[in-house]
Structure 1
Amino acid sequence: MKILYIGDDWIGSNARSLADGFRQAGHDVVVVDSTSVSLPQRFSPNWLYSKIRGQRAPWSVAAVHRRIERAADEFRPDLVFGFKTVHLDQRRLLETPADLHVHYSPDDASNPYNISRQYLEFEHAWDLVVTTKQHNEAELLARGAKATKFVMSAYDPVWHHLSARRSTKRYLVGFVGNYRPDRRDITVALAGRYGEQLLVRGPGWRRVPALRRTHATIGGPAYGEHFSAAIASVAANLVLLNSDNRDTHTCRSFEVPAAGGLFVGERTDEHAALLTEGRECLLFSSEAELHEILRWCERQPDRARTIADAGYRRITTGRHRYVDRAREIVAVLEGRRVDAEPDGYEPVRATSSVDNASSTRGGAL
């Protein structure tokens, strides 16, 4: 297919990775960058307008649509694909000439932060709405969506891979991701307990005074290959979910093990199905259980590394790249069925990660 793809095109963005996934799947893809609307630069006129008026700057929206329309006129796409294009003019998007119009929501499509009034008004007109949240499918259909497709998140081998460390410093525990209020308390508590053994990187963390008062290492965002380098310096890499999105998995669920990091995440059904607890990941349901896991990792670094290696193999030999998700989406559009699970997939019972790791015998660890 000829795909006119509209989404954020900055290096390391999930939108760029999915666009490349469609190209890797054999399609002809032209990208129109919508970052100036979806994520305006801090303190720019576009950003100030959005903060003051509570909506995107109309001149910025108009400029993106002019690029879309020029590209459509020259390219004549079969498919218009919008990656979280909720702040663009929905009527103009849907009137862009193409056989199919598909919208992709990488976050909870019922969270007000991820939608807009105009998007909801036109949601029913998209031929397909793709979501990474299972709970969204019934909600989307109830709102009038024509068709929905659930896909898991993914990783991009270009960015998420085994990486050499960029420092001799090793951390016991680390988290690479955005600051969120629901992540604050657990991160500050870890910093108080583990101090210089903790690495925290991502937007917003430097603005948390309680965290700055600890001995934890706090850094800015780590995108692209910088993410994998950060993961390489940490023994236990936290996968923290976003409660506002009602996450049961996230991009980090794939990116951390794909970068060779030990997956230490919140226990959910999707996490338990993705990786075998105690053999390929370590899961927790409480802060006390997390501390138990970290004490075990500190005492058993070689066994922890073995679990990380097994998680890396499970993710990278499964169908979890963006090209695999692109193929799933295209298969729905073409009326085909694609088995999205990797070979050997089996749901597993949720039990204590450390109990599983401690009771495993022989070469399994």
Structure 2
Amino acid sequence: MRILFVGDDWLGSNARSFAEGFRRLGHEVIVVDSTPVTLPPRLSPSWSYAKTGERRAPWTVDRVHTRLERAAAELHPDLVFGFKSVFLDQRRLLEIPAALHVHYSPDDVSNPANTTADYLAHESEWDMVVTTKRHNLPELAGRGVSRTLFVRSAYDPAWHHPAARRGTRQFLVGFIGACRPDRRPGMVSLARTYGSQLLVRGPGWRRVRQLQTTRAAVAGPVYGEDFAIAVASVTANLVLLNSENRDTHTCRTFEVPASGGLFVGERTDEHADLLDDETEAFLFSSRDELDEILERCASYPDQAAKTAEAGYRRIVEGGHTYTDRAKEILRALE
């Protein structure tokens, strides 16, 4: 197939990994980067415009669409694939000549933060809407979408693989992910308990003043292979969910064990289905249960390493790469 793919194409992005998944299956893929629209440079005119509401700067939107339309004129695509392309002009996307138009959302499509009025007005015109949230399927059908597909999140073996440590320091527990209101109190509490044994990395954490009064190591985000390097420095890697997306699994569900890290995550049916508790991962439902797990990891590091290895095998042998997800989508389109 000839696939015209539009998504945020920065190094380490999930969209880039998905495009490469289609390419690895042997399809011709042209990627048009939507980052200037979705994540305009801080303090730029486009960034200032986006701060006024849900719409993005018309001049950046037009530039991305111009690149899309020029690429389509040369490629003559069979499939237009939009990776969370809600901030683009939906009418212009759907009018690109192609047999199929598919929209993919890695997040909850019923969360207003992941949609726009323009996207919702045209959502039912996409030939297929793909979501990583099973609970979205009846909601999409109720909004008039005739063809939906649930696929799980994934990992990219180009980035997510066991990596050598870059220092001798080993943290007992760590979390790599964005600072969110529902995560902040728990992370501050962990920092006060575990101090220098805790690593926290991700956007926004360095602005949390309560963390600065602890001995926890707090740093910015890591992407691409740097994620796997950070995982290697942590014994127990926390997998926390986004309550606003009603997550029951997330990208980290696959990325942490694929990077060789010990999965210590919130107990959900999907997590329990993907990884066997106690032998391939450790699941918790309360802070007391998490503390007990961390005490075991500290007391029996060899057992923690054995569990991490089993989790790694379960994920990498289970068909959870972006190539596998691309295959699922194309199979559904057939």
Report the AA paired with residue 44 of structure 1: S
2: CA distance, partners of 1:238 / 1:156 = 19
1: CA distance, partners of 2:108 / 2:290 = 26
Report the AA paired with residue 106 of structure 2: P
Equivalent position of 1:308 in the other structure: 308
Equivalent position of 2:322 in the other structure: 322
1: CA distance, partners of 2:137 / 2:85 = 18
Equivalent position of 2:132 in the other structure: 132
1:288 shift after superposition: 1.0
Which deviates the most, 19-28 or 49-58?
49-58
1:53 shift after superposition: 4.0
2: CA distance, partners of 1:65 / 1:204 = 31
| Residues 173-230 of structure 1, C-alpha deviations (whole Å, 9 max, x = no match) | 0000111011101110110000000000000000000011110000111100000000
Secondary structure of 2:85's counterpart equals coil
In 2 relative to 1, CA 127–54 (structure 1 residues): closer, same or farther, beyond 3 Å? closer
1: CA distance, partners of 2:318 / 2:15 = 21
Equivalent position of 2:255 in the other structure: 255
1:1-365 equivalences under 5 Å are 1-334=1-334
Secondary structure of 1:22's counterpart equals helix
TM-score, normalized by length of structure 2? 0.99
Report the AA paired with residue 192 of structure 2: G
Secondary structure of 1:181's counterpart equals coil
Report the AA paired with residue 32 of structure 2: V
1:54 shift after superposition: 3.9
| Residues 233-261 of structure 1, C-alpha deviations (whole Å, 9 max, x = no match) | 00000000000000000000000000000
Secondary structure of 2:135's counterpart equals helix
Tell me how large the CA RMSD over aligned residues is: 0.6
Equivalent position of 1:350 in the other structure: none
Report the AA paired with residue 331 of structure 1: R
| Residues 254-297 of structure 1, C-alpha deviations (whole Å, 9 max, x = no match) | 00000000000000000000000000000000111111111111
1:63 shift after superposition: 0.5
1: CA distance, partners of 2:235 / 2:243 = 25
2: CA distance, partners of 1:211 / 1:50 = 30
2: CA distance, partners of 1:221 / 1:42 = 16
| Residues 114-173 of structure 1, C-alpha deviations (whole Å, 9 max, x = no match) | 000000000010000000000000100100002000000000000000100111110000
1:52 shift after superposition: 2.4
Secondary structure of 1:149's counterpart equals strand
The answer (yes or no) to whether the contact 2:173–2:237 under 8 Å persists in 1 is yes
1: CA distance, partners of 2:27 / 2:203 = 34
| Residues 10-37 of structure 1, C-alpha deviations (whole Å, 9 max, x = no match) | 0000000000000001111000000011
Gaps of 5+ in 1: 335-365
2: CA distance, partners of 1:56 / 1:273 = 39
1: CA distance, partners of 2:45 / 2:231 = 35
Report the AA paired with residue 30 of structure 1: I
Q: Point out 4+ residue stretches in structure 1 off by more than 2 angstroms.
A: none
1:46 shift after superposition: 1.1
Gaps of 5+ in 2: none
2: CA distance, partners of 1:221 / 1:332 = 35
Report the AA paired with residue 170 of structure 2: R
The answer (yes or no) to whether the contact 2:54–2:116 under 8 Å persists in 1 is no
User: How many matched pairs?
Assistant: 334
2: CA distance, partners of 1:302 / 1:258 = 19
2: CA distance, partners of 1:126 / 1:196 = 50
| Residues 59-107 of structure 1, C-alpha deviations (whole Å, 9 max, x = no match) | 0000000000000001100000000000100000000000000000000
2: CA distance, partners of 1:53 / 1:16 = 27
Secondary structure of 1:12's counterpart equals coil
2: CA distance, partners of 1:147 / 1:306 = 42
Report the AA paired with residue 192 of structure 1: R
1: CA distance, partners of 2:14 / 2:260 = 19
TM-score, normalized by length of structure 1? 0.91
